[in-house]
Amino acid sequence: MPVLSSCEIQDNLKTSLVGRKVIVLERVSSTQDIARELVEKNAPGGTVVLAEVQSQGRGRHGRRWYSTAGLDLLASVILYPRFSNLTVVSLTLGVAIAIAIRNFTGIRAFVKWPNDVIVHDKKVAGVLAERAGTSLIAGIGINVNQVEFHESVAGSASSLLVETGKEVDRASFTCEVLRQIDRYYLMLRGEGFSPVREELKHLSSVLGGQVAVFFNGKTVRGQAIDVDESGALVVRVDNGLHVRVPTGEVKGGTRG
Ligand code: BTN
């Protein structure tokens, strides 16, 4: 299995911001922890930390993020956004990852609000946005060439290899992911969420469908009709009222 190389990735990138500095490590607790240490040492925006394997990979809601050594894409990107809305950044990166998967493999990847990327209704990638001082550390986990999944996610997770039947060249794919993150993050920074949101509407797995959204111990059920300018999911509930859910977890939707 080819090992990710920092030179190979950096030389092929040609991005403006994301990947100006790329650090590739073998085994870490979590790339998020390494990125946090780099922020404390004033690492510039756009710095990317990649690892071959994590012993303490984490996902949202305190969950673990499982990966297989040398088979996945595990990255943390240090950003200094002018705004502080984590959902908007997660959605922007979700759009970038879905586009990168489409460009690279030809499969139809969708963004599952607020932070997942799915293929054939299975999760292939997730985004974890965490604050560190004035920075935001965007953690990205993509199941690339993994074929076995931890029992806790065995029914709901998949990988690009499983979905396409073809092994993916991780170094080239990583370049494509970082290029798309650069493109969409700069779009967000320069023009705000509107143009990203338009793209999201075409890539969303939930908009138009019947959903149950879990947030703060409550469940909102109805039709997902929009993602607003703050990244909130707008749900038309049974009495016709529109309920905005700022973040949460969704079941249901239109496609996968
Ligand atoms: C989620 O879907 O819950 C988010 C998963 C994010 C996982 C990535 S892997 C790289 C980075 N380091 C971590 O510990 N987590 C993120």
- What average pLDDT values come out for the chain (256 residues) when binned by 10 residues? 71 90 96 98 96 96 93 97 89 98 98 97 97 95 96 94 97 96 97 96 96 94 96 94 95 74
Provide the pLDDT for residue 11: 79
- Cβ-contact 103, 180 below 8 angstroms: yes
Provide the pLDDT for residue 162: 98
Could you tell me which of 83, 84, 48, 50 has the C-alpha nearest to residue 181? 48
Residues with CB under 6 A from ligand 1: 30-32, 54, 57-60, 63, 65, 74-76, 115-116, 126-128, 139-141
Provide the pLDDT for residue 5: 79
Provide the pLDDT for residue 207: 96
Atom 5 (ligand 1): residue with closest C-alpha? Answer: 59
Provide the pLDDT for residue 188: 96
> Hunting for tokens 């460009």 — which residue is that?
103
Mutate to test the pocket of ligand 1, among 47, 63, 74, 113 (most ligand atoms within 8 A of CB): 74
Provide the pLDDT for residue 114: 96
Residue 47 CA to residue 20 CA, distance in Å, equals 6
Provide the pLDDT for residue 7: 72
- Cβ-contact 210, 197 below 8 angstroms: no
Provide the pLDDT for residue 82: 84
Instruction: Look at residue 162 and give its three-state secondary structure.
Output: helix
Provide the pLDDT for residue 3: 64
Pair type for strands 242-245 and 73-79: unpaired
Please tell me the distance between residue 243's alpha carbon and the centre of ligand 1 in angstroms.
29
Provide the pLDDT for residue 2: 53
Range list of β-strands (E), the chain: 22-28, 48-54, 73-79, 110-112, 116-119, 122-132, 135-142, 210-215, 218-227, 233-236, 242-245, 249-252
Query: Using N-to-C axis directions, what is the helix angle for 170-191 and 6-13, rounded to 10°?
Result: 50
Strand order through the sheet with 135-142:
22-28, 48-54, 73-79, 135-142, 122-132, 116-119, 110-112
Burial of 182 from C-beta contacts in 10 A (0-12 / 13-18 / 19+): buried
Provide the pLDDT for residue 13: 86
Please tell me the distance between residue 116's alpha carbon and the centre of ligand 1 in angstroms.
11
> Hunting for tokens 């509930």 — which residue is that?
237
Please tell me the distance between residue 226's alpha carbon and the centre of ligand 1 in angstroms.
26
Contacts of 137 (CB under 8 A, 6+ apart): 32, 35, 36, 39, 76, 77, 78, 79, 129, 130, 131
Which DSSP symbol is given to 58?
B
Domains defined along the chain, listed by start = 6-202 (3.30.930.10), 206-252 (2.30.30.100)
Atom 3 (ligand 1): residue with closest C-alpha? Answer: 59
Please tell me the distance between residue 71's alpha carbon and the centre of ligand 1 in angstroms.
15
Contacts of 240 (CB under 8 A, 6+ apart): none
